[in-house]
Chain A
Amino acid sequence: MSEKKFLSGDEAFAEGVRLARPQVISAYPITPQTVVVERLSEMVERGDLDADYLHVESEHSALSAAIGAAAAGARAFTATSSQGLLYMAECLTYAAGGRFPIVMMNANRSTCLPWNIYGDQRDSLSLLDHGWIQVYAENAQEALDLALMAYRLGEDARVRTPVMVCLDGFALTHTYETVDVPSPAEADAFLPPYETSNRFDFEHPVSIGYTAGPAYNRYYKQREHLDMLAAAQVVDEVEGEFARTIGRAYPGVVDAWHCEDAEEIVVTLGSIAGEVRDVASRLRAAGRKVGVLRIRYLRPLPGPEIVAAVSGARAVAVLEKDVSFGAEGTVFTNVNSALHRAGCPVPTRNFIGGLGGDDITEGQVMQIFDALHQVAGSDAARVPDVTFLNIADQGGER
């Protein structure tokens, strides 16, 4: 039987990791991830979780130790945030290229400089191209469930790719909610033990993580790409199995809210989606045809699903907590690419907010919908491509 608990996002994720039964945990503390590794160490100490807990001396070692464990055929877990994620960045491509289905929680946090421990998504979005599946949780329940589903997804023989589960720092990691915690029996019914042929074998010794020169390299890289693309379909299968065994349904790589008849749609990701839906529901009650598309998986890029959700709209906004300096928001680039490839002409605008933990207020969300209304009407030229929320001076035009 499952159990209701009052948990923060970090604590809920730790419960999910416990139920996933990783055999090796290697972790290094960083705010706002720290609670996860504290709770896991307590679970190991109590004997609630039979895992080897490696107190590594850095994030680089946290992920490289997980890689070693995975090469030995063990299920491995680590967690990090912000500068810690950037410090282990070279190991991200290593885990992905080695096809080690490690699961890592990232507490989304601003990146230096200036120093800032609060939430935005610059850290994970800047590493979008490092070969990891990236999924963004909206609430603590989804975070817990993703801990379990991430292993099932990444370990699937068609995918064999590491998974980064992103939780907004503080807004999600430190906010308490009532969470349904599955029983170990339920979790075991959903997630079988990890079995792989991609590991050391004493009967038939293997070389792992070797060199492949120009004559072979492209085959490895294409395989990595194709298997990541295949993960989108596997997400649906995994969520179907999760619904059958645990009893909670999830909507696939994107979560579309009233998009089918919406004229103006805000695309976003992570914990802010709830607030955007609250504002949108008030607007709908007032007769405005608005919708919200929450991107859950940003890698693999849910291009067809984004197109399907927004292609009937007259204007689309992408609200995100990051910027690729000198370009635009990274999610905006990805959404535009998906629309362009599909020949979808809907006009799009980018809204960047929440940087360094800045509040994105309901008033600002209302402004975004109002701006979309302008774009959908005759005032499109008055809404710039990229707008920084909560700043009066938008700087020079280019």
Chain B
Amino acid sequence: MALNAKTLSEDEYFFGHKACAGCGAALVVRHALKVLGPNAVCALPAGCMSAVGFNFPQMSFANNAMITPFAATASVLSGIEAGLRARGGAPDDAIVVGFAGDGGTADIGLQALSGAIDRNDDILYICYDNEAYMNTGIQKSSLTPYGARTTTTPAGAHAHGCLTEKKRLFEIVAAHGIPYAATASIGYLNDFIRKVDRAKGIHGTRFIHVIAPCPTGWGCAEDATISVAREVVDCGLWYLAEYEGGRFRINKKPKEFSSVAHYLRGQGRFRALTDGEIERVEAGRDETWRRLAKLEEL
């Protein structure tokens, strides 16, 4: 039976934490662990999920888990995997999994991630992307999208928020020739669950980049996390894809994109964008999808 939101384990492995109401990242960790089970060994760098889950004496992981140095999610995962193998005796379904944010992955952690993929270490790396350094209070990362207001890309008379485009992390990871990489959105939960399950069954380095809205930083309602995470896919600003065996596959191709303006106007962080800037975002989306089509043909 295919694993989905209905057939998923009732057991909880990540609870009692102090994440904000509506936190998308907490949903990522919670659901991934339901797929991976109690013998997953977790490593999390500095970031929202480590900040909310490891406050002595209130530990929030039912699994073995540790915080890593900020830049070192992937290298600590590699060390854990090697150490467990050297010691022996780990259960057959033990899997070493990292949960790192967008900054912890695409900025400070990218070098260690690249090293781990180069070695093809037997680890699963999940990047929960809430599109800024949310734990420190909403600062720009290289996965912050164009036009998003953060506390270090303020919207004023001269700039309307972030001036750079989102780094193409999925393609960077795929360019290593990794055994498995995927993008996902917490708004399309069954797709995310399927990808975690798929990754679980593959050996070597595996990577999942999952969009996880942050109501606090995005300026949306706390109960809008799922709908916003769906809308970003529906309007084409995010895509659900996989890279496996050297081939790209786009999992969901909307026949018609929903309104980019509606997606952007629904969030406080994009409030300063002009109509012209929204058109620029749309043009960027179309360029991305043209590139994705070419990647799929490779």
Interface residues in chain A, defined as those with a beta carbon under 8 Å from any beta carbon in chain B: 23-24, 26, 51-52, 54-58, 60-62, 64-74, 76, 90-91, 94, 200-202, 205-213, 216
Contact = CB atoms under 8 A, between A and B. Distances in A.
Nearest to B68: A64
A57 B115 contact: yes
From A51, A54, A67, A200, residue with most partner B Cβ within 10 Å? A200
A200 B91 contact: no
Interface string B7-48: 000000000000000000000000000000011010100000
B77 to A, nearest CB: 7
B79 A207 contact: no
A69 B64 contact: no
Given A66-B79, A202-B90, A57 B39 contact: no
A24 B83 contact: yes
B94 interface: yes
A209 B65 CA distance: 8
Given A64-B76, A65-B79, 16 more contacts: A24-B86, A56-B78, A60-B71, A64-B72, A65-B78, A67-B68, A68-B43, A68-B81, A72-B83, A73-B84, A200-B64, A200-B66, A201-B64, A205-B62, A207-B65, A209-B66
Contacts of B83: 23-24, 68-74, 76
Nearest to B46: A211
Shortest beta-carbon contacts, A-B, top 4? A68-B79, A72-B83, A57-B115, A64-B72
27 contacts: A24-B86, A26-B79, A52-B85, A54-B78, A60-B69, A61-B75, A64-B79, A64-B112, A67-B76, A68-B43, A68-B75, A68-B80, A68-B82, A69-B80, A70-B79, A72-B83, A72-B84, A72-B87, A90-B69, A201-B64, A202-B64, A202-B90, A202-B91, A205-B38, A207-B61, A209-B54, A210-B55
B258 to A, nearest CB: 40
Nearest to A75: B86
A71 B79 contact: yes
B114 interface: yes
Contacts of A65: 72, 75-76, 78-79, 82
From B39, B77, B83, residue with most partner A Cβ within 10 Å? B83
B227 interface: no
A1 to B, nearest CB: 28
B235 interface: no
B113 to A, nearest CB: 10
A201 B87 CA distance: 12
B112 A57 contact: yes
Contacts of B68: 64, 67-68, 209
B82 A210 contact: no
B78 A68 contact: yes
Contacts of B115: 56-58, 61
A206 B80 contact: no
B118 interface: yes
A56 B74 CA distance: 10
A364 to B, nearest CB: 42
B63 interface: yes
Nearest to A203: B91
B42 to A, nearest CB: 9
B135 to A, nearest CB: 12
Nearest to A69: B83
A54 B82 contact: yes
Nearest to B91: A202
A382 to B, nearest CB: 50
